[in-house]
Structure 1
Amino acid sequence: MKRAMYYVARGLSRQLGELTEETDYGKLQKVYSIWVCYDPKMPRRLKNTASRYKIKKEDFFGKVEESAADYDLMEVVMVRLDAMAESNEELFDYLKGILTNNKEKIIRHTGTLSDDIIEEVDTMSGVGALIFETARTEGLAAGFEQGLEQERRNQIEKLLRKGKTPEDIAEYNDYPIELVKSIQESLTD
């Protein structure tokens, strides 16, 4: 929850940038952050719940009339789905359908759909699949980069063992001289 509040606070502060004597706080607009949590390890008491957190004025001495637009500038909605069990709540069922790419659940909650939209639902991937694919792609890119780094290191080590100078290796292969020298030092350790 603190993380969500931090994000809306940052979103609010980003609207003004650097504060000066001329800062116009009247330009601030309300910031919303909606979180959909879908974690099988979530505590039971939180599963299939939704909560809204916002700023609310409370007069404790006297009564002051103020527009909520002047102070209610941050709101967080936290939806916590039970990853393992079904829910009778339509919102939870629909969101689970989206996250798991369950087209029957999606169609059940969106009503009658045209053939075009049904075809799109058939071919869409759920948000979970999208997150997985993004992470997989990033992991592959990182792995590829690590492989290139290791190959570069192996090549430098091989040339150093053949008696090439760090300067020649760096110049011929367009490597930073610091990299070649650090690899040379690691070979002598």
Structure 2
Amino acid sequence: MSSAEEALYGNRNAAYDQAAKKVLSQKKILAFILKRMVEEFKDESVQDIMTKYIEGTPLISQVPVHPDETNQEYERIQGNNTEDGSISEGMVRYDILFQALVPKTKEPIMLIINIEAQDRANPGYSILKRATYYASRMVSSQRGRDFYGNDYDKIKKVYTIWICMNAPKDMGNSINRYRMTEERLHGKYRAEEWQYNLLNVVMLYLGNRKTQDSLIEMLRIIFKEKAPALVKKQQLEEEYGIRLTEDETKELSKMCNLSEGVYNDGFNNGFDNGVNVGTFNRAKEDLQNLIESTGWPLEKAMQVLRIPLEEKEHYEKALKKEH
């Protein structure tokens, strides 16, 4: 692939990821996620989780940070920050980072939500191990910010939640949770759970088929359905009581237009088998912009955008009508 093509894909994927994070970071959507995937909130209403327990404004990462290669003292920014770094460990970014209060105790817990948009559940490494690493980093980063010296009782519980949007069939529509538990090898003593249950990893694998699980179905509508943003907005409002603002709707529309599945999934069925009109028009617009900016012929632009060449005749006719 040429550098121009790599730049095109990189920009498209980066823009999609950013729009997806903004959509997912809305408190009304986060509340549904917490109720279904975080045990402390299972008995609370979505409205209460949204208005009473999610604190502040969720932080969204924007720029990737390279590992720290110096031995200079790292001065930590106080408070929540999507950057987490140290001299020895380097630096990573979290997609969405926020804090919530446990309803019964009002103790704060830290929550990370990451969106994994890879076309496979194992992109050359274990996502589950990466999630565990992220959770561990969130615990260790609290020293010097949330607790000092040996005051380890102030360590906050951490949840890292991963939404894998393109899971294989055997993993699709699944939710798995991993956490620390106590195993007594001898004797009768049991420790209190708050002392050790600090790391929690939850993996949600989205599939293409409909499901009875309300959270998975809501996320499937947002990320997987091939429908215009206004249609999705109406579904979210009617089925989940989620009313998106004008700005939130714009982000949803941007995400739909940039969806990685538009070309891989939408065009596989072929134009004659009923390609969605909105999908075809978006692809036509992308082709026109690419041809005008690069001077490439239609066939080259279609290859770069991963549109099957069998559809060339349809796009030729459509583009000619524009001139």
Q: Provide, for residues 71-117 of structure 1, a one-character-per-residue CA deviation record: whole Å limited to 9, x for no partner.
A: 000111111101x3222321111112233542243124323x7xxx3
Which among 214, 225, 232 is matched to residue 90 of structure 1? 214
What one-letter code is carried by the residue in structure 2 that aligns with 1:9?
Answer: S
Task: Provide structure 1 residue ranges, at least 5 long, that are not aligned to the other structure.
Answer: 134-189
What one-letter code is carried by the residue in structure 1 that aligns with 2:233?
Answer: K
1:110 paired residue number: 240
Within-5 A mapping of 1:13-52: 13-17=140-144, 22-39=149-166, 42-52=167-177
Q: Distance in 2 between matches of 1:43 and 1:78?
A: 14
Within-5 A mapping of 1:1-189: 1-17=128-144, 22-39=149-166, 42-82=167-207, 84-99=208-223, 101=229, 102-111=232-241, 117=243, 120=246, 123-126=249-252, 129=255, 132=258
1:109 match: secondary structure? helix
Q: Distance in 2 between matches of 1:106 and 1:87?
A: 16
What one-letter code is carried by the residue in structure 1 that aligns with 2:252?
Answer: G
Runs of 4+ in 1 over 3 A off after TM superposition: 117-122, 130-133
1:119 CA displacement: 6.0
Aligned residues of 1:52 and 1:78 also touching (Cα < 8 A): yes
Q: Distance in 2 between matches of 1:128 and 1:118?
A: 14
2:143 match: secondary structure? coil
* Greater share of residues in helix: 1
Q: Provide, for residues 144-179 of structure 1, a one-character-per-residue CA deviation record: whole Å limited to 9, x for no partner.
A: xxxxxxxxxxxxxxxxxxxxxxxxxxxxxxxxxxxx
Query: Alpha carbon RMSD of aligned pairs, Å?
Result: 3.2
1:24 CA displacement: 1.8
1:95 match: secondary structure? helix
CA distance 1:50–1:127, change in 2 (3 Å)? farther
TM-score where L is the length of structure 1:
0.55
2:251 match: secondary structure? coil
Q: Distance in 2 between matches of 1:35 and 1:22?
A: 32
1:122 CA displacement: 8.2
**Larger radius of gyration, structure 1 or 2?**
1
Q: Distance in 2 between matches of 1:7 and 1:64?
A: 31
TM-score where L is the length of structure 2:
0.34
